Amino acid sequence: MSKESSFLYRFSQNRAAVFGAFVLGGVVLLAVFGPLFYPLDPFEMIDRPALPPFGAHLLGTDVSGRDILAGVLHGARISLLIGILASLSASLLGVAIGAIAGYYGGVIDTVLMRSTDFFLTIPSFVFAVVIVAIFSPTVINVIFAIAIVSWPSVARLARAEFISHRGREYVLACRAIGMRDWEIIIFQILPNALPPVIVVSSLMVATAILTEAGLSFLGLSDPNVVSWGYMIGVARTVLRTAWWMAAIPGVLILITVMAISLVGEGLNDALNPRLRRG
């Protein structure tokens, strides 16, 4: 493999993607190690409410007198966890349905894709709100709701990839030697169909973080854990008088989502089959 055809080389050529990866790495380090170096309980009331930043406390306090910096550090873990797990769950479900539909075709394809189309006709955020409102607003249920509204796009993409591969020579050769369908799907077609799915899944992490923030703003978040969305939701009653309470986690969400988007674009360039010719 030549240097120009390697994944890391092509990814490194995209300066925006490298910058996004650097920023995203910083956010991950903040989420992993931040609470260790600043172990203050984000639910502990330490001072008067609504203290501004750069005073007695670096980022001030919220409406209940809780330290905003502690909330930011602990909230990074929850927001990233929800984004990654929701994206992973949606990708697994979408790939499974799309693979079966694309490989077998016929009636199976029709039934699965019409079911997928049904989910696509429902506004995703409204559907997520309904799911979380019906069940209790816990982290697990938020992840479940986001995954349920996100998998259809992955399923359609996976189906298209499997349709394009199922008639190729290497698949026909696998059938000729007696390889079973599930072996062909998992070990032969799936590795070749994964690159575009990986790109979509990475971008889905950003969408999941934004969706969780929207749910939290409406009060549909787990009250027992702190996330960036939860912090914005708590501050919604004082947006005019203490704007920094919502601005600080909001800016962090913006930075993280933009970083993930840049990394996703870099992955798209690096994994694009047309760019592998070198």
For residue 275, pLDDT over 60 is answered with no
Rounded Cα distance, 108 and 105, in Å: 6
For residue 278, pLDDT over 50 is answered with no
Q: Which residues contact 265 (CB under 8 A, 6 or more apart)?
A: 14, 16, 17, 20
With contact defined as beta carbons under 8 Å apart, do 93 and 156 qualify? no
pTM equals 0.88
Report pLDDT for 207: 92
Segment 21-66, tens digit of pLDDT? 999 999 999 999 998 889 898 998 988 888 889 888 889 999 889 9
All domains in the chain, ordered by first residue? 3-33+68-275 (1.10.3720.10)
Segment 242-251, tens digit of pLDDT? 898 999 999 9
Mean pLDDT along residues 161-184? 89
Among residues 204, 185, 206, 188, the alpha carbon closest in space to that of 196 is found at 204
